Amino acid sequence: MICEQDGIFHIGTEAYSYLIKINAYGIPEHVHFGAPVKTGDAAALSCRPGLGWGSGVLLNAQDSASCLDTLALEWSGSGRGDYRESPLELEGTSSDFRYSGFRILKGSVAMACGLPQAHGGLETLELTLEQPGAKLSLYYTAYPTALVRRTVLENTGDVPMRLNKLMSFCVDLPGAYHMATFNGGWIAEMRRHDVPVGGSKVVNESLTGASSNRHNPGFLLFEANAAEDAGRVYGFNLIYSGNHYAAAQQSLQGLTRVMQGVNPSNFSTELAPGKIFESPEAVLCFSGEGFGGLSRNMHSFVNGHIIPAYWQNRPRPVLYNSWEGCMFDFNQRRLLDLARRAKSLGCELFVLDDGWFGQRDHDKAGLGDYNVNKKKLPEGLEGLSRRIRDLGMEFGLWFEPESVNPDSDLYRVHPDWALTDSFPDVLGRYQLLLDLTKPEVRDYIVENVSRILDSAHISYVKWDMNRHSIALGEKAHGYMLGLYDVLRRIFGPRPGILLESCSSGGNRFDLGMLCFSPQVWASDDTDPIERLMIQGGLSYLYPQSTIGAHVSAAPHGQTLRATPLSTRGNVAFFGCLGYELDLKHLLPVEIKEIKAQVAFYKQYREVFQYGRFRRTELGWQVSDGSVTLAGVFHGLVHAAPGYEQLRIRGLKKDAVYRVVSLSQAIRVGQFGGLLKHVAPVSIDPNGPLLRIADRHFTLPGGGEELTVSGGALMSGIMLRPLFRGTGYDQNQRTQGDFGSDVYIVERL
């Protein structure tokens, strides 16, 4: 619901209220963003500057409360008394926009520039502000669990205007906050980093041309006492995949100014008379129920209003991806052999990754070319995809259409299509980006990718992008508009193709890409212990249905860490499950275990992908109201571990539940010489007998089976003991380093 009453605007849903007041000077003041309140509460919630703070620049010399610097604002200009950071910069001039009108519109308002937008909005408030020669429209679209804001600047004068900065939103929140950002790099995405927001500005930005693995555009502001289940937490994100900027800073008056938008660094664009510039949409979210409540509000917004309509709440296939198993070394025979094995494990989609085209036998050549490598694939993609279909699997294909290797046919013909500057080229992974601001480049990509997609039975695309850009400011923004145009033209007419975007893993995990691709390859790091951090970081802002999560080989390629197959599965379950390893060398015990993993995941797929997510003391839980699945994850073991309690959230205290743990297969090989303690025979720990036994036999793991009340489960039930060096029996959890369990809690 959006309403206006005596200059107060109230945007309200069951999850939040957002109040704006137009003051006596036509300045929109920010009144409230938080728990639902009444429109009539505005006076009590507004700032009360009284006689002011002194030394301020006043809009009205007779009114000491008219100092913009001390008010909570919805927008701010420059040179008019507000000396905090301004969300707008017009070159060489101050700005002083005053309220001129409003409209309340049904649904959301479409943008003209082609940036992706959330869909299914309830209502939109359009506030219009004006100054001589310019009009500023602030849009607020209400969604059940989030508010989406954006800004449009129009040159209403008769001379060109130079715009250097236009944020998607700016707001002054009363109170003191900490800021959580999600930082990292390649194979180390989404590490949560908290800093207090004080008088010095805290900035979260990317300048790589992508939303980046360094600083995800999503961030949180939270009160110091906020915890997982309690406290006030705000979440912000941008529906944009390029250079972004967000800043937070607290004023002397205790107002925290927050803003987010396209990164203004090097940004400058000319607005001719009559022209507009539109900022991307930004998402503002609130919860009074801690980080968990905030995450669930964000998840529900993303699942319901960002993911393309066709894929909304649609189960995602269990896939097999050829990359880590084959890299560039494959031919049709090898792929079909892998596909047969993947099928027998239960996989539903076979994805052929990099290496199927041009001279792409390594990463130094071929990007930009689309001719299928007939040496590797004599029957082409049509033949390969048909055979995979005949095996009963869907077929998916990798592309990296935004890039070009200098060693490619495309580059030899069109060196001018690459993104360059006045300096000699600098390569990233031996490649350049194509200049997507050029229509002929976009046409080339659209035509070629479309042609390939229509030439074979392709139901999934992995869209990769593997280098940082050299484009600055306006050019970098133009690149993003070009990319969105390309994605819209290719996938708009083909909504049934499941698009998984990727950028060296999670270098472009953002709401802009998610408007086109329902899932994103979260990281090239598939080590489950690293994934706890990566997927755990993502979980604050993005739902499980968006997170590509694969089981790969151990020891792991990025960390050399050896982890149990069970843990690799248990972590990947909390996303869109896939397998990415050479299946040829799997042991019989591993084949059996993977089959069981895939069958288990399929049984509870909807709960894992779409269930309500919670971070818990011991790991994660997801729930659809009748089934809760709880993952318990351990790092390094300690000798003589103590008791461990499992606490499940969100149950009915008087209902009765059955708790079962997912059965585990304990490899006998890991016991080495210790086996003599559990087996009646003496076995050489380095001998062939143990090796053979390890291939074929496992010991049963400590299976839990309890019937217990919701009240007991919510207060915490005792788990079976962990291994303590006092022997083996089936009642304990015999796990070494990096062990884990999944518990299935079903209401009886």
Which parts of this chain interact with ligand GLA (CB under 6 A)? 323, 353-354, 363, 398, 464, 466, 502, 504-505, 521, 524
Active-site pick, 464, 525, 694, 741:
464
**Residue closer to ligand GLA (CB basis): 398 or 601:** 398
Find out whether 49 and 68 touch, Cβ atoms under 8 Å: no
CB of 322 to ligand GLA, least distance (A): 9
Find out whether 334 and 353 touch, Cβ atoms under 8 Å: no
CB of 449 to ligand GLA, least distance (A): 16
CB of 40 to ligand GLA, least distance (A): 53
CB of 744 to ligand GLA, least distance (A): 31
Report in angstroms the alpha-carbon separations of 255 from 30, 252, 283, 350.
11, 7, 20, 53
Which of 307, 386, 391 shows the shortest CA–CA distance to 343?
Answer: 391
Q: Distance between CA atoms of 428 and 404, rounded to whole angstroms?
A: 11
**Residue closer to ligand GLA (CB basis): 166 or 187:** 187
Which of 631, 625, 722, 728 shows the shortest CA–CA distance to 680?
Answer: 728
**Residue closer to ligand GLA (CB basis): 236 or 323:** 323
**Residue closer to ligand GLA (CB basis): 353 or 394:** 353
**Residue closer to ligand GLA (CB basis): 542 or 600:** 542
**Residue closer to ligand GLA (CB basis): 289 or 582:** 582
Q: Distance between CA atoms of 596 and 602, rounded to whole angstroms?
A: 10
**Residue closer to ligand GLA (CB basis): 96 or 464:** 464
Q: Work out the burial of residue 376: count CB atoms within 10 Å of its CB; fewer than 13 is exposed, 13-18 middle, 19 or more buried.
A: buried
525 is catalytic: no
Q: Distance between CA atoms of 573 and 530, rounded to whole angstroms?
A: 15
524 is catalytic: yes
Q: Work out the burial of residue 203: count CB atoms within 10 Å of its CB; fewer than 13 is exposed, 13-18 middle, 19 or more buried.
A: middle
CB of 238 to ligand GLA, least distance (A): 22
Query: DSSP secondary-structure letter at 304?
Result: H
Which of 221, 255, 239 shows the shortest CA–CA distance to 53?
Answer: 255
Q: Distance between CA atoms of 207 and 629, rounded to whole angstroms?
A: 39
CB of 400 to ligand GLA, least distance (A): 7
Active-site pick, 69, 96, 435, 524:
524
Instruction: Please give the single-letter amino acid code of residue 508.
Output: R
Name the residue number minimizing CB distance to ligand GLA. 354
Block residue for tokens 């209902």 = 655
CB of 738 to ligand GLA, least distance (A): 23
Q: Distance between CA atoms of 420 and 432, rounded to whole angstroms?
A: 8
Q: Distance between CA atoms of 120 and 141, rounded to whole angstroms?
A: 10
Q: Which residues contact 62 (CB under 8 A, 6 or more apart)?
A: none
Q: Which residues are catalytic?
A: 464, 524
